[in-house]
Amino acid sequence: MKNARSLEWVTGMFVVLGFLALLFLTTQLPGSRLGVSSGSAGYTVTARFENVGDLRPGAPVSMAGVRVGQVTNVTFDSKDYKAVVTMSIDKQYNRIPEDSWANVETAGLLGAKYLGIDAGGSETYLAAGGQIENTQSAMVLEKLVNRLFSAFADRGSDSKEEKPK
Quick count: other Cβ atoms within 10 Å of Cβ 84? 16
Provide long-range contacts, Cβ within 8 A and 24+ apart, for 77-80: 77/48, 80/48
**CB–CB of 96/89 below 8 Å?**
yes
The beta strands (E) that lie in 5-160 are given as: 42-49, 60-63, 66-77, 82-90, 101-107, 112-118, 130-132, 134-136
Buried b or exposed e, range 93-112, using 16+ CB within 10 angstroms: beebbbebbbbbbbbeeeeb
The string of pLDDT tens digits covering residues 3-54 is 778 888 888 888 889 888 887 777 665 544 433 444 457 899 999 999 998 8
Residue 161 has pLDDT above 60, yes or no: no
Percentage of the chain beyond pLDDT 90 is 45
Give me the sign of the Cα torsion angle 28, 31, 33, 37.
positive
CB burial class (10 A; 0-12, 13-18, 19+) of residue 64?
exposed
Q: For residue range 68-88, what is the model confidence (pLDDT) as tens digits?
A: 999 999 999 999 999 999 999
State the Cα–Cα distance between residues 119 and 100, nearest whole angstrom: 5
**8 A C-beta contact, residue 108 and residue 21:** no
